[in-house]
Amino acid sequence: MSTQGYEEELRSERAYIAGLYARLDAERARVKGAYDAALLGTGGTPVERDSEVRALAATAKRLDVADNGLCFGRLDTASGEHSYIGRIGLFDEGDGYEPVLLDWRAPASRAFYVATAANPEGMRRRRQFHTRGRRVVEFTDEVLGRPDGDERGDAALLAAVNAPRGTGMRDIVATIQAEQDDIIRLDHPGVLVIEGGPGTGKTVVALHRVAYLLYTQRERMERHGVLVVGPNPAFLNHIGRVLPSLGESDVVFTTPGDLVPGLRVTAEDEPGVARLKGSLEILDVLAAAVADRQRLPASPLPVELRDVALRIDAGTAEWAREEARASGLPHNEARSVFTEIVTYVLTERAIARIGRGWLTREDREAWEQLRADLLKDLAEDEAFTAALDELWPVLTPAALLSSLYSSPERLRAAGGDPALARVDGEAWTVSDVPLLDELVDLLGRDGTVDRAAERERKKEAEYAAGVLDTMVDRRDMMDDEDHLFAQDLLYAEDLAERFLEQDTRELVERAAADRDWTYRHVVVDEAQELSEMDWRVLMRRCPGRSFTVVGDLAQRRSAAGATSWGAVLEPYVPGRWVYRSLTVNYRTPAEIMTVAAALLAEFAPGVRPPESVRACGVRPWSRRVDGDGWAAAIEEFTRDEAGREGTSVVIGPPGVPGTVPASGTKGLEFDAVLVVAPERILAEGPRGAAELYVALTRATQRLGVLHRDPLPPALAGLVEAGEPVRSGDRRPV
């Protein structure tokens, strides 16, 4: 294309996209008008109006995020027709309601991502726009169908992967590659495993798959939402804006340590203890710990009523325990069965004593009246309640597990490993979360708490109804045209009906606070780190077993983590999971990946490293540090990077000030990375090599390594950078 022809095309494209923004603004105005009308409307029930307001608010959010990069490409067919691709779909409201902008998730948009020179999908040209704000700066064309053409237009992709990193992950909606698009659009109702080495984009592919599923199955999915589970809060902050940037907000982000609402996790267990807690064998320990609290009295327990003295003996308690266990109910719910049997025995004995000589079973009315009086006395008797609490106590997960950890006797009785013992039973760790979640089901609900909650709910509803009654009384005494009163009455109606019929919190808020909430789809990132017990928690959260599982077995650091995907998934979804791999590294330049691959070959020789799509032209380096030179070298690195655009991080083992552990950077990426003391990271345990592999592959541009001892042989590919750094040195790193 000549320069003059290019400029004419650019003006034409600018005009077209300006027209798209005009349509977007008009649609925003229309939705806002409908939203305002719904807020003030009086038609339908309050619940119907509330539902309409929520739906319009969600539509407004999706329109708002479309402003950034509304249209990013164009496809031209071999016959000369063309279509524009963007973040959302827009339509010509004239005859035919023809699309003027295709949503990137629509089937008709797929060719934009998968058409190649060898398989052009009926397309002749792919055009990509480069925009700043609402203005098209330039465009690049890739002509498809030529034998010597490239598979993909690399200009946009390389511009994206070479750009400095910001504070969070960016969406890849404009640069999705064919390998990634196949996974995003995969039609599979069960579990999809996406495995890929560092920099392959597996996380962002999984998030775009969520956006695609919400687009294609919105009615089914949006009422229950999506759960995204990541390794740590820093990772969740990093990825947290991808889905909102694609217009999707009904997503709960959490870590494995936050899956039980209200629990405060303060630490991680030692590898051996984490392995014990993560194994399914811990289920037997938990069941035994519950059974151990269902006790028989060592000697009869006295219950003194007004007219008779009673005792709960071992025989009575054993019969009651057998019946309660045979009911199959959770512990707290089975207490009612236990109580019923004990109460029956005691009242039968009491009636026999009190009525001796004058009362027979034939006198049913007197018999039942005496039983009712005794039942009332037992319900109010503190000794009887204390006896029940001793033999079959109401338990909470936290109280049971805490007492198990802090009592060597109870731990021994439950068959638990002595390594599980600790002084502070409530010093909760990440590995405790699935155990506490399991105990919720083993123990069941506390009926007394449920009854109290029901009473509180009724009180709130009665208050709302009282407000409504007051307003109705006021209406009878006021002018029918009093507008302010009409608004007050509408508020009162809303208040009453919402208390009675609907929780008015947003879906994300309700789901995150409810342990029993179930999701339509769950994304699990860094899934190789999850234990067998972690998977039980997640399967409870998604009865439909619709998962996107993201991980890399070669990067596993947890002693309780997965060693194979089949071992993890087959017990839950036999034959309903599929595996896909990503093989191209879009993050790590070839110079850095060469060093990391040498380490990978040592600790995981059967794993093939991903192939980098680019080189950065900068060799990764190493430098020897003597004495107390860590601080000086780290300071130099930090000062040097502060003058550059982008992000940086210093990764090191515990005990080195100014560093973060590799585990805290999993899933993250930085323009520059400084790895401190790799020899000590390797010495941290059996997964030290995986830790170091993670550290080496976080950089997108520059990698440096500081070491005091000789470098491990696997890092021989690093370029030695000058003399050792000593305390007080200020040479640039």
Q: Which of the four pLDDT bands, split at 50, 70 and 90, describes residue 694?
A: very high
| Model confidence at 533: pLDDT above 80 | yes
pLDDT on residue 491: 47
The answer to whether 197 is annotated as binding is yes
Tell me, what DSSP letter sits at residue 699? Answer: E
Q: Which residue has the tokens 């984009």?
A: 201
| Model confidence at 460: pLDDT above 60 | no
| Model confidence at 339: pLDDT above 90 | yes
Contact 731, 702 (CB under 8 A): no
Give the count of beta carbons closer than 10 Å to the beta carbon of residue 92: 12
Give tens-digit pLDDT for 376-406: 989 989 999 999 999 999 999 999 999 999 9
The answer to whether 199 is annotated as binding is yes
Percent of the chain with pLDDT over 90: 50
pLDDT on residue 721: 80
The answer to whether 86 is annotated as binding is no
Give tens-digit pLDDT for 548-585: 999 999 889 888 999 999 999 999 999 999 999 999 88
Q: Which of the four pLDDT bands, split at 50, 70 and 90, describes residue 481?
A: very low
Q: Which residue has the tokens 């792919």?
A: 126
Q: Which of the four pLDDT bands, split at 50, 70 and 90, describes residue 333?
A: very high
b/e string for 211-228 if b means 16 or more Cβ within 10 A? bbbbbeeeeebbebbbbb
Give tens-digit pLDDT for 267-310: 889 999 999 999 999 999 999 999 999 999 999 999 988 788 99
Find the angle CA(559)-CA(265)-CA(248) to the nearest 5 degrees. 90
Assign residue 469 a region: left if phi > 0, alpha if psi is -120 to 50, beta otherwise? alpha
Distance CA 554, CA 563 (A): 9
Encoding tokens for residue 159? 């511009």
Q: Which residue has the higher pLDDT, 236 or 434?
A: 434
- One-letter amino acid for residue 183 of the chain: I
Encoding tokens for residue 142? 């890739």
pLDDT on residue 388: 96
Contact 711, 616 (CB under 8 A): no
Average pLDDT of the chain, as a whole number = 85
Residues 6+ apart with CB under 8 A from 408: 418, 421
Find the angle CA(157)-CA(158)-CA(162) to the nearest 5 degrees. 125
Specify the length of the chain in residues.
733
pTM of the model: 0.79
Q: How far is residue 553 CA from its own chain's centroid? A: 20
Contact 75, 126 (CB under 8 A): yes
Assign residue 201 a region: left if phi > 0, alpha if psi is -120 to 50, beta otherwise? left
Query: What is the rounded average pLDDT of the residues 69-84?
Result: 90
pLDDT on residue 167: 57
Question: Which of these ranges, 278-282, 289-293, 516-520, 641-645, has the smallest mean pLDDT?
Answer: 641-645
| Model confidence at 412: pLDDT above 60 | yes
Residues 6+ apart with CB under 8 A from 448: 394
Kind plus residue range of the DSSP H or E element containing 317: helix 314-326
What are the beta bridge partners of residue 707?
Answer: 624
| Model confidence at 471: pLDDT above 60 | no
Classify 71 as helix, strand or coil: strand
Encoding tokens for residue 240? 């947290």
For the chain, give the longest Cα–Cα distance. 119
Encoding tokens for residue 571? 């017990």
Question: Which of these ranges, 101-105, 179-183, 321-325, 488-492, has the smallest mean pLDDT?
Answer: 488-492
pLDDT on residue 221: 85
Query: What is the rounded average pLDDT of the residues 439-462?
Result: 66
pLDDT on residue 447: 56
Encoding tokens for residue 556? 């596993």
Q: How far is residue 563 CA from its own chain's centroid? A: 22
Q: Among 665, 646, 569, 484, which Cα is nearest to 195's?
A: 569
Q: Which residue has the tokens 């502070």?
A: 424
Classify 580 as helix, strand or coil: strand
